[in-house]
Amino acid sequence: MLTAPNAAEIQDVAPPEPQPGHVVVDVHRAGICGTDIEFYTGEMAYLHSGHAAYPMRIGHEWMGTVSAVGDDVDASWLGVRVTGDTMLGCGVCRRCLRGRQHVCEFRYEVGIRGGWHGALAEKVAVPVGSLHRLPDSVDDATGAMVEPGGNAFRAARGADLAPGDRCLVLGPGTIGLLSARFAQAAGAEVHLMGRSERSIAFAGSLGFDGVWTQDELPDLPWDAVIEASNAPHLPERALELVEPGGRVVYVGLAGVPSVIDTRQLALADVTAVGILSASPGLAGTIEAYASDAVDPRPLIAATVTLEELPAILAGERPAGAGAGPKFHVAI
């Protein structure tokens, strides 16, 4: 539970009961995301807009086994290994009825928005319609990487890559690295640009075609640029780098507004794509993981317990942790 900025603790809470249309999942594995860190520090925008408030239970990257179902839910869900959509729309508005519940104005977000309890707990309750089954070929660690993978899957799809295209990913964090992996799976030549020595060194170990600092970046024609950083100046830089007629995908979010020159966008006939949420990409991500077209597990630096989690949120890296950007909690 997060109780205030920079305050996290383990609490005993009442277990959730399955309501009509809902299930309870025994959580096996959950991931820590940059959004969780922002909630811990108090910087997350939802805390200031009224969409979230302390105390709150975070956690939106998860997998587990269905252990209880509501009265009107098919009992065949019991015992099924699942992950779930973070975005829970109202189900009746125009956006929801068009399959865009992830941008529903009235949506809840598991562990993020509207007070819906997250999965950094022994159990989480979610609507049955938000569930995605995990095949046996997707292990627990991989299953908890489906949610971040869905964002990356959509980013790579948004880049509309063909075999032989050259793609540049800005920001070698979890989403950037996974976007690069999905771009590789599409047959593209993939490069990344980063800043810190650790992230650049780690990205360089994953077999991409090039990993660069901003000063070292070669002058190459980039058919697509995926902007996956939190740097406010890089959205503009992405537009400067992409080839005329190419695509820029914006999946990273800075803490302050970024500015681009739309004249440059129009005069170069560039397509700009914005990505919010893994929702439309969850099924495709599970399929890619199950077929081993993309393996997200090398990004996991360490797996810790709930009791060790407050220190991770405060920025500590446990002894023996790998160089990857992702931490998991085994529950």
Which residue matches tokens 């397509």? 271
Q: What CATH number did the domain enclosing 308 receive?
A: 3.90.180.10
Domain boundaries, position 75: 2-145+296-330
Q: Alpha-carbon distance 105 to 93, whole Å? A: 9
User: In this predicted model, what pLDDT tens digit does every residue of 81-94 receive, in sequence order?
Assistant: 999 999 999 999 99
For residue 273, what are its two tokens?
A: 């794509």
Q: Note whether 163 and 124 are same-domain residues.
A: no
In the chain, which residues have pLDDT < 70? none
3-state secondary structure string across the chain:
CEEECCEECCCCCCCCCCCCCEEEEEEEEEEECHHHHHHHHCCCHHHHHCCCCCCECCCCEEEEEEEEECCCCCHHHCCCEEEECCEECCCCCHHHHCCCHHHCCCCEECCCECCCCCCCCCEEEEEHHHEEECCCCCCHHHHCCHHHHHHHHHHHHHCCCCCCCEEEEECCCHHHHHHHHHHHHCCCEEEEEECCHHHHHHHHCCCCCEEEECCCCCCCCEEEEEECCCCCCHHHHHHHHEEEEEEEEECCCCCCCCCCCHHHHHHCCCEEEECCCCHHHHHHHHHHHHCCCCCCHHHEEEEECHHHHHHHHCCCCCCCCCCCCEEEEEC
Establish if 195 belongs to a structural domain. yes
User: In this predicted model, what pLDDT tens digit does every residue of 116-141 receive, in sequence order?
Assistant: 999 999 999 999 999 999 999 999 99
Q: Note whether 7 and 139 are same-domain residues.
A: yes
Q: Note whether 164 and 111 are same-domain residues.
A: no
**What is residue 255's predicted lDDT score, i.e. its pLDDT?**
84
Establish if 206 belongs to a structural domain. yes
Q: Note whether 177 and 209 are same-domain residues.
A: yes
Q: Note whether 326 and 265 are same-domain residues.
A: no
Q: Note whether 120 and 227 are same-domain residues.
A: no
Q: Note whether 32 and 134 are same-domain residues.
A: yes
Q: Note whether 138 and 165 are same-domain residues.
A: no
Establish if 129 belongs to a structural domain. yes
Q: What CATH number did the domain enclosing 257 receive?
A: 3.40.50.720
**What is residue 151's predicted lDDT score, i.e. its pLDDT?**
98
Q: Alpha-carbon distance 61 to 64, whole Å? A: 11
Q: Alpha-carbon distance 20 to 236, whole Å? A: 47
Establish if 291 belongs to a structural domain. no
Q: Alpha-carbon distance 198 to 176, whole Å? A: 15
Q: Note whether 202 and 89 are same-domain residues.
A: no
Establish if 280 belongs to a structural domain. no
Establish if 288 belongs to a structural domain. no
Number of domains in the chain: 2
For residue 158, what are its two tokens?
A: 């948004």
pTM of the model: 0.96
